[in-house]
Structure formats: C-alpha cells, structure tokens
C-alpha cells in the first residue's frame, strides 16, 4: 500500500471486485454519462492499474490507469463528492503519477472535458500541457463536447 500522509490514514490500495458497488455509487453521482458495471469489471479483468483511494479508512475514490510501452493513460479518476475540493484529488493524483513512474512510464496522457473546471485546474497546476483536442469526443446534453488531450512529461525534473 502507498502511504500519503501517514500510516493507514490516507493511502491507495489495489481496487478489487468487491469495491465495484461503491465505485458505481460515486461514478453515477459524478458523471452524466457514467461507466457501466461491465466496464469496471473489464478494467479489473484486463489488469489495468486500478486503485482505491482510502481516507481515514473510508473508500473515497478510485483511479483506472493503463500503462504500456512507456505511456500511462489516466482513464478515470474520481472522488466521492463529499471529499472533493479539499486538496485530496491533488494528493491522490501525485500518488498516481508515482505509480506510473514506477511502472516505467515516461509520460501520462488523459482526456478531459473543457467544462470540467476542477479537473482542468487540477491537471494544469500538476504540470499537464494541452497537446490536442478530440472533436465531439464526449456525449453531452446538447449534442457532443470536445475533449482536451493533456500530457505530462514524467522525465522532467518537476514531474
Ligand atoms: C477532478 C477531481 C478528482 C479533483 O479532486 P478534488 O479533490 O476536488 O480537487 P482538489 O481539492 O485537490 O483541487 C484541485 C484543484 O482544482 C481546483 N478546484 C477544485 N474544485 C473546483 C471547482 N469546483 N471549480 C474550480 N476549481 C476547482 C482547486 O482550486 C485546485 O486548484 P488549486 O490548487 O490551483 O487551487 C474531483 O473533483 C472529481 O473526482 N471530480 C469528478 C470526476 C472527474 O471529473 N474526474 C476527472 C475526469 S478527467
């Protein structure tokens, strides 16, 4: 397990099948177009790097990370709304980047909705740079929304 601020207080542990009901509760609260149970089960089966965020012993979020041939992709990162806006997303993201480095990733990629101001701000201040845009990538109430494609170089000193 990866300790953040002290032993067994805030940490990441591997995500397990028994976590899926809690994952789905958070996922459905946070996204208008949530991933299905089947997608999460597949992520566990495929063997992505899947982690649970634990705060004071409580399951408060998760990350689905794919790492291959020197590239990491954050496919989903999500925190329980009751725990958002308190710096936890930033703390957990730092640990996710450490995991990616340990798995020999040189860079991290992700897609984010431009309208997701909290996430965009989090990634920007963590050093991610915009490298592109995917047109009409996300479903949206009024049609489709583009995705910003962001990347972080893990080989630079600041990462
Ligand atoms: C994105 C997410 C992981 C961020 O976690 P968090 O704990 O809420 O964020 P933090 O408290 O660590 O704050 C990170 C930055 O975002 C900013 N921020 C947080 N909430 C914000 C909001 N509602 N509006 C604007 N900025 C916000 C903070 O100011 C902080 O930036 P700063 O340090 O420059 O001030 C979390 O909000 C979340 O799970 N959202 C739903 C799922 C999601 O959108 N995931 C990302 C998909 S790409």
Q: Residue 78 belongs to what domain range?
A: 2-153
User: Residues in the chain, how many?
Assistant: 159
Q: Is residue 51 part of a domain?
A: yes
pLDDT tens per residue across span 124-137: 999 999 999 999 99
In this predicted structure, the answer to whether residue 5 has a pLDDT above a threshold of 90 is: no
Q: What is the pLDDT of residue 110?
A: 98
The CATH number of the domain where 83 resides is what?
3.40.630.30
Q: Is residue 64 part of a domain?
A: yes
The reply to whether ligand 1 has any atom less than 6 angstroms from the CB of 122 is yes
Please give the structure tokens belonging to residue 131: 């490298």
Domains in the chain, number: 1
The reply to whether ligand 1 has any atom less than 6 angstroms from the CB of 154 is no
Q: Is residue 80 part of a domain?
A: yes
The reply to whether ligand 1 has any atom less than 6 angstroms from the CB of 30 is yes
Q: Is residue 75 part of a domain?
A: yes
Q: How confident is the model at residue 10 (pLDDT cuts 50, 70, 90)?
A: confident
pLDDT tens per residue across span 24-51: 999 999 999 999 999 999 999 999 999 9
Q: Determine contact, residues 107/152, Cβ cutoff 8 Å.
A: yes
Q: Is residue 159 part of a domain?
A: no
Q: How far apart are CA 110 and CA 152, in angstroms?
A: 9
Atom of ligand 1 nearest to the CA of 78: 39
Q: Which of 31, 111, 137, 145 is catalytic?
A: 111
Cβ neighbours of residue 150 under 8 Å, at least 6 residues apart?
109, 110, 111, 112, 123, 128, 129, 130, 131
Report angle CA 118, 123, 127 to the nearest 5 degrees.
Answer: 145
């Amino acid at each position: 397990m990866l300790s953040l601020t002290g032993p067994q207080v805030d940490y990441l542990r591997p995500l397990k099948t028994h976590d899926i009901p809690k994952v789905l509760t958070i996922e459905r609260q946070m996204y208008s177009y949530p991933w299905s149970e089947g997608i999460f089960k597949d992520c566990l089966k495929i063997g992505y790097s899947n982690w649970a965020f634990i705060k004071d012993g409580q399951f408060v979020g998760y990350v689905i990370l794919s790492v291959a041939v020197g590239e990491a992709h954050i496919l989903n990162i999500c925190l329980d709304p009751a725990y958002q806006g308190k710096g936890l997303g930033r703390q957990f993201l730092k640990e996710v980047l450490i995991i990616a480095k340990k798995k020999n990733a040189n860079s991290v990629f992700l897609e984010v909705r431009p309208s997701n101001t909290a996430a965009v701000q989090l990634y920007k201040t963590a050093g991610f740079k915009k490298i592109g845009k995917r047109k009409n990538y996300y479903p949206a109430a009024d049609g489709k929304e583009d995705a910003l494609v962001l990347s972080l170089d893990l080989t630079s000193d600041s990462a």
